[in-house]
Structure 1
Amino acid sequence: MCGIFAYLNWNVARDRKFILEALFGGLRRLEYRGYDSAGISIDADTLKGFHGELVANGNISEAQFPFVFKKEGKVSDLVAHVYKEVSDQSVNLTETFNYHAGIAHTRWATHGQPSAKNSHPQTSGPENEFVVVHNGIITNYVVLKQTLLRKGFEFESETDTEVIPKLTKYVYDQLTKDKKGDEVIPFRQVVVEVLRQLEGAYALIFKSSHYPNEIVACKRGSPMLLGVKDYPESADQSADDTDPLSPKSPIISPANDAKKLDLPFLDAGSPASVTFRKEYFIASDATAILEHTKKVMVLEDDDIVHIHDGIAAVFHFNHDVRKEKAGRPDRVQRALHTLEMEVEQIMKGNYEHYMQKEIHEQPDSLTTTMRGRLTSGEGGKPKGVVLGGLKEHVDTIRRSRRIIFIGCGTSYHAALASRQIIEQLSGVPVTMELASDLLDRQCPIFREDTAVFVSQSGETADTLLALEYAKKRGALCVGVTNTVGSAIARGTHCGVHINAGAEIGVASTKAYTSQIAVMTMIALALGQDSISNREMREAIIDDLLRLPEKVREVLKLDEAMRELARELVNEQSLLVFGRGYNYATALEAALKVKEVALMHSEGILAGEMKHGPLALVDETMPIIVLATRDAIQQKQQSVIQQLLARKGRLIIVCTEGDSVKMCPSGKAKVIEVPHIADCLQTVVNIVPLQLLSYHLTVLRGFNVDQPRNLAKSVTTE
């Protein structure tokens, strides 16, 4: 899991300092995707010539090979390192480039420990002829490395990525050795020959001194977006009025100059005669592009984008025939979309951390999640749910033999929290599967099954592999994601976007609660035709509409949770007991404490207390018991008494007004929360425990938004 970013300007004058800051800014936005090291590559001097003319004319000595700067640590460490290096080397930061391509990367280590040598960009050799940044894993890198070693290449890093630029250099040398006369080998052709040899998941960006002012980007199994910023051709036209998809735009339209666009390069006339002005941005996530442009293209698996002479040409590479010489990529058109989010959504504002901001945004994110999807019965209309993404498939899901929820981590917990209400309202059995375990067991899936894939990012590797597995077996595949255009959103037959807004903090908070809200609405949609549970459905709809206000009430416990965190800050372990709907709450609360506060915590099904966990109870072990008012509250009351009998150090989460009922002895600390429908109580109950995990992390001195060893979405196995 890494963040990749690229910036290319065409006929837009930018000095080196601006280019550096653009790359640094992109990395700062992507740092939640990886933060153990970072690197960038920019041009050392203005490169002369286009379309590889320097190579074709034998004048490669005139070119300046790219700078590559890499540093272990945070992006801030890289920034300080780069400015020190450019100062020591007397690099001119005011030099202006009308055409320039720079690439950048922030790493989450998979192969090799965090270090400068293992950081990206990885290069083809000392002269940096080919430079590559990579997100993903190359599964056959060992074989490729052994082959390249036999060819005389030397390796410096422990990464799988280093084989890519060295393989690119080898392929380029072979292709240029065999070329005829003034034949120009397109950059994308070199990359395609490299891709034929790669196996695994990747998002890649290539830069080369042999192809000045060009970038080739491609993806398979890892996210990538292309942002386009056009500049007006006349003074009375604003940049926002320019439509990159219009016939006037050279990005994809043959109407601009069909003959030129059909050729690998614009070789009729000097590039100086091309008057349009553009900036391109390539990133792993829309958050890195948003502050520059809202016009983005979501790349699909096996897409190749070749940006040259100001034109972004998109090709689709048939991965199934990648070994065949005849399998050449086809030119395709991809639509540009306008991002709906605003820059303010990815800023911390007055909050100290993204996690804190996102916890407090939950009333608004829940409102957005439900907007336009609930009919409250006003004007004589029946109460109900409208989910456009499922409309054509609801009957099929109702007839399923079973519904299988598949996810990882927090997304799995959200599905678990929704299992009971879906079974109640649909009458269809629901089973739960961790994506990795499903694949390890090769779990039987049938045509009569509905498989629901839950992922905040929509790019989680194990969940994606499980999706491919289920599709091959004929199951109806439903996606529940927070990311429009993500791999799961595109790969499933239907689905629902949770619309929680950008979530930057690595520990998911508002996406979790919005996932539960969406899956509750799915349950309502599945049970909409049933007369017997109409009263229950209408009560849940009423409480869904009240849910944002209930969460707003719980957020008032912020200071109380800070005080509780002070009491627990030096503890080594924490147990959380829950059952029913709140079993998922117990698991999620324990996960939050574990991942950000770096404190051992365990979520336990209260019904299993006597089957082992009771041995851990003593007067020092802090134990949180979820005992809000629901159908099984009495059972939790019994659990509390048994724990108190063994001098347990209890913290009870109960419904307002129930503190005396749940703990008449007064020997436990009590947190009271508002009451709501049983299936939504887990949303209310998790909020104070999110606040607790946040304050524990701050008090323990750890990085809230970038927990140790973790990244936002795991896009590698």
Structure 2
Amino acid sequence: MCGIVGYVGPQNAVPLLLEGLHQLEYRGYDSAGIAVTDSGGLQVVKTAGKVSNLRKIVPAALAASSGIAHTRWATHGEPNDRNAHPHTDERRRIAIVHNGVLENSEQLRAQLTADGVQLASETDSEVLAHLISRSEATTLEDAVREALHQVEGTYGIIVLDADRPGELVAARRGSPIVLGVGDQEMLIASDVAALVRYTQTVIYLDDDELATVSADGYHTSTMDAESTTKFPTSVDLTSDEYELGSHPDFMHKEIHEQRAAVDRCLRGRLDRRFMSARLDGIGLSPREYQQIRRVKLLGCGSAYYAGQVGAGMIEELARIPADAEPASEFRYRNPVIDSDTLYVAISQSGETLDTLAAVHELKRKGGRVIGLVNVVSSSIARECGSGIFLHAGPEASVAATKSFTNMSVALALLALELGRVRDLSLAEGRRLVQGLDDLPGHIDEILGAEEEIASIAKRYANAEHMFFIGRVRGWPVAREGAQKLKEISYIHAEAYQSSELKHGPLALIDPNMPTVAVVPDDELLSKNISTIEEIKARGGPIIAVTDADLPSGLVTDVIRIPRAQPELAAITLSVPLQLFSYHLAKTLGRDIDRPRNLAKSVTVE
């Protein structure tokens, strides 16, 4: 959840570390800090607030050849200077940065306190610095290994020892760590976003693996001190992809990248000979597809809602029972794992801990699970070994936009392929292939209406609450729309199935309660209109997002979108809700990319 960076090499580490934190700030921005070793020993500078606050207080003359840095999303202890990372031991010899949660930290803190250690923070992470410092091991790597054997939970850590300024030690369990290999220099980070400005050659650590790095290279090993062999790979990313360009913030940039992102997701995957999809990354034959009797989609937040979109498409097109479930709940209810069920783990980062834990549970019980992720070498991608790569490109804003759209498109491809190996006709396949071909153009048309959508959004900036409603295909769209609004505008928003509104929630409708109605032009149009009439009769303002021709005067405002194939309508209906939420939040002056209390790439439970 937090962002961590390390550097060792001939350059001044300070500006590299600060720039790395800037690139990782989407992972946490409650506090930030830096620790380096210079001629005066260990120098630590940290503060509550964003990386910009840290930049202001780092001495201009501070220089060092090695260091570590951290930007935090708080789990233990409120965001303040004292709880900011890096944390040190009492002698200020060891400094650590940590991403994850140590589940036995209270017991360890009690033991350290009983031994006379003066703890300086309320965090779980600080105990690691003291445990490493107290080790009698002769190498930093062994001291770190010894300390990690005493902790329970998840971690991605980097350790700096003032007595060994030329090396850093990193380790991971459940939280990502990637090494960047440069020219006589090494970098470490929790995400390649911090590295691509300096190198495209990277190494991903596996769980329970450590790395000792110096300017000359790296050495990796297991928790049992056995050497491991890691081969560098190249990442197809550049620093330009993490720049705003002409956009005011990353959410706006990423909304406008959706045409290109969908193009990439579809490229080479539409089989125009058989009017099907070509998903070679899944690695299943038509006979194996035929043997699938159920599909279960697992994700968290927007990935879960995309799973609901996908489940609907799979049932419609392939006539296979399909449903989506929050990955955070899946393993805790002791689920029955069927050998004829295809499980799909959905995650933008590929590091979402709850989803990764669900994958582990599925593999332990013999389930067939594929990944649907946006990062090729992520933990979920490697654990699953097969799946669908999203090709959405980097997504730095906390709010999911292009990743949600590409998740839905990828699941439409899966639904099409499953359908065509069953009962979906060639003609129906042709219709859907054409519908998928049309999606990038539809998205362009929606983005072209941004000014109109913005003007509608601004009219509702004073609302304290909103309903989002939809039926069947529109229901997950309503859920995702409500999530977007509340996470970036802080307006309370609730999503309901349209049919459920009269079973209680209708009591809240009044002239101060706007409702966003998701109304696809499908067989349920007349029922959606009836629900809107019920809201209108009670004085509630209504914003309709629709590709249908609604009766004149039915709604207060209407956001019209191009007409898509009915099974694909959820994809196009979602895009204007992103713009609606964005401009409403912008009107309220919110920090769009870094909404309060949230962070991207959730690597804690």
- Tell me what 1:505 maps to: 397
- Tell me what 1:70 maps to: 46
Displacement of 1:44 in angstroms is: 2.9
- Tell me what 2:38 maps to: 44
Residue 157 (structure 2) pairs with residue 204 (structure 1): yes
- Tell me what 1:306 maps to: 212
Displacement of 1:514 in angstroms is: 0.2
Aligned counterparts of 1:167 and 1:554: Cα–Cα separation in 2: 55
SS at match of 1:706: coil
SS at match of 1:66: strand
Displacement of 1:195 in angstroms is: 1.4
Indicate the structure (1 or 2) with the bigger Cα radius of gyration. Answer: 1
Aligned counterparts of 1:490 and 1:164: Cα–Cα separation in 2: 28
5 Å matches for 1:689-700? 689-700=577-588
SS at match of 1:106: strand
- Tell me what 2:148 maps to: 195
- Tell me what 2:120 maps to: 156
Displacement of 1:316 in angstroms is: 2.2
Aligned counterparts of 2:289 and 2:153: Cα–Cα separation in 1: 33
Contact 2:318-2:423 at 8 Å conserved across structures:
no
Q: Deviations 1:264-294 (Å, cap 9, x if unpaired)?
A: xxxxxxxxxxxxxx11111111111011111
- Tell me what 1:145 maps to: 109
Contact 2:220-2:229 at 8 Å conserved across structures:
yes
Pick from 702, 708, 713 the counterpart of residue 596 of structure 2: 708
Tell which deviates more after alignment, 188-197 or 198-207. Answer: 188-197
Displacement of 1:653 in angstroms is: 1.6
Displacement of 1:192 in angstroms is: 1.2
Aligned counterparts of 1:685 and 1:117: Cα–Cα separation in 2: 46
Which residue identity does 1:361 align to in structure 2?
A: E
Contact 2:310-2:411 at 8 Å conserved across structures:
yes
5 Å matches for 1:329-478? 329-375=225-271, 377=272, 381-392=273-284, 395-478=287-370
Displacement of 1:7 in angstroms is: 1.0
Contact 1:405-1:415 at 8 Å conserved across structures:
yes
Displacement of 1:394 in angstroms is: 5.7
Aligned counterparts of 1:667 and 1:291: Cα–Cα separation in 2: 49
Aligned counterparts of 1:540 and 1:308: Cα–Cα separation in 2: 54
- Tell me what 1:8 maps to: 8
Which residue identity does 2:175 align to in structure 1?
A: S
Aligned counterparts of 1:418 and 1:447: Cα–Cα separation in 2: 21
Contact 1:445-1:475 at 8 Å conserved across structures:
yes
SS at match of 1:305: strand
- Tell me what 1:136 maps to: 100
Which residue identity does 2:48 align to in structure 1?
A: E
- Tell me what 1:649 maps to: 541
- Tell me what 1:273 maps to: none
Q: Deviations 1:360-383 (Å, cap 9, x if unpaired)?
A: 1100100011111113x3xxx332
Pick from 495, 501, 508 the counterpart of residue 616 of structure 1: 508
Displacement of 1:511 in angstroms is: 0.2
Contact 2:185-2:214 at 8 Å conserved across structures:
no
Contact 2:221-2:228 at 8 Å conserved across structures:
yes
Q: Which runs of 5+ in 2 are unaligned?
A: none
Q: Deviations 1:281-331 (Å, cap 9, x if unpaired)?
A: 1111111101111111111111111114622011122xxxxxxxxxx3211
Displacement of 1:393 in angstroms is: 5.8
Displacement of 1:532 in angstroms is: 4.4
Aligned counterparts of 1:72 and 1:575: Cα–Cα separation in 2: 35
- Tell me what 2:497 maps to: 605
Pick from 29, 54, 71 the counterpart of residue 35 of structure 1: 29
Q: TM-score, normalised by structure 1?
A: 0.82
Q: TM-score, normalised by structure 2?
A: 0.97
Aligned counterparts of 1:445 and 1:430: Cα–Cα separation in 2: 14
Percent identity over paired residues:
36
Displacement of 1:667 in angstroms is: 5.0
Displacement of 1:584 in angstroms is: 0.7
Closer/same/farther in 2, CA of residues 154 and 615 from structure 1, 3 Å limit: same
Aligned counterparts of 2:286 and 2:212: Cα–Cα separation in 1: 41
SS at match of 1:120: coil
Residue 66 (structure 2) pairs with residue 113 (structure 1): no
Displacement of 1:6 in angstroms is: 0.6
- Tell me what 1:266 maps to: none
Contact 1:418-1:520 at 8 Å conserved across structures:
yes
Contact 1:111-1:158 at 8 Å conserved across structures:
yes
- Tell me what 1:517 maps to: 409
Pick from 467, 491, 507 the counterpart of residue 575 of structure 1: 467
Aligned counterparts of 1:191 and 1:306: Cα–Cα separation in 2: 10
Aligned counterparts of 1:408 and 1:697: Cα–Cα separation in 2: 23
Which residue identity does 1:161 align to in structure 2?
A: S
Aligned counterparts of 1:418 and 1:284: Cα–Cα separation in 2: 30
Tell which deviates more after alignment, 471-480 or 349-358. Answer: 471-480
SS at match of 1:7: strand
- Tell me what 1:82 maps to: 58
Contact 1:476-1:493 at 8 Å conserved across structures:
no
SS at match of 2:338: coil
Contact 1:454-1:479 at 8 Å conserved across structures:
yes
Aligned counterparts of 2:217 and 2:447: Cα–Cα separation in 1: 50
Contact 1:397-1:450 at 8 Å conserved across structures:
no
Aligned counterparts of 1:82 and 1:132: Cα–Cα separation in 2: 18
SS at match of 1:570: coil
- Tell me what 1:222 maps to: 175
Displacement of 1:3 in angstroms is: 0.2
Aligned counterparts of 1:421 and 1:569: Cα–Cα separation in 2: 34
Displacement of 1:42 in angstroms is: 0.9
Aligned counterparts of 1:552 and 1:294: Cα–Cα separation in 2: 32
Displacement of 1:712 in angstroms is: 0.7
Aligned counterparts of 1:521 and 1:431: Cα–Cα separation in 2: 17
5 Å matches for 1:673-684? 673-684=561-572
Which residue identity does 1:334 align to in structure 2?
A: K
Displacement of 1:702 in angstroms is: 1.0
Aligned counterparts of 2:546 and 2:284: Cα–Cα separation in 1: 41
Contact 1:481-1:498 at 8 Å conserved across structures:
yes
SS at match of 1:620: coil
Q: Deviations 1:166-205 (Å, cap 9, x if unpaired)?
A: 001111xx34xxxxxxxxx222111111111111000010
Aligned counterparts of 1:397 and 1:428: Cα–Cα separation in 2: 11
